[in-house]
Amino acid sequence: MAASKTKRWSNRVTHESNALDLEPGVFTWDDPKRIAASLRRSALKSRRRKAEPFRSALSMLTFYVNRAGRNLSERQRRVLMKAKDELRRQFGR
C-alpha cells in the first residue's frame, strides 16, 4: 500500500508541480536540447517557484530521473543526463 501512495505522490509532483508548468511528455522526448529548452522556458515563465529558474528546472529534471529509477531505460537516462548538461549550457553555467 505504501508503494502505491509513493507512486501517486511522485506522479502528482511531476504533473502538478507548484514550481513549474511542464509541457506534457517533456521527459520522454529524445532530444536533450529540446528538453532543456522546454524546462528553461517553464522555469523562466513560472512565478510560483521558490528558487531561481536554473535551480527549479534542474531540480525538476533530477527529481524525475531519481523517481523513475529502474523503470527508466538506459537510453532515456542518457538523454536526460545530456539534458542536464544542456540546461547548464543554456543558463550559462
Residue tagged 532515456 (cell numbers)? 76
**Which residue stretches of 17-73 are H helix?**
32-45, 53-68
Q: Is the pLDDT of residue 77 over 80?
A: yes
Number of neighbours of residue 17 by Cβ within 10 angstroms: 18
Domain that holds residue 47: 2-90
Q: Write out the DSSP string of 12-23.
A: HHHHH-SS--PP
* Confidence bin at 13 (pLDDT 50/70/90): low
Q: Nearest to residue 17, comparing CAs of 76, 71, 52, 61? A: 61
Q: Report the number of distinct structural domains present in the chain.
A: 1
* Confidence bin at 89 (pLDDT 50/70/90): very high
pTM of the entire structure? 0.79
* Confidence bin at 15 (pLDDT 50/70/90): low
Number of neighbours of residue 43 by Cβ within 10 angstroms: 25
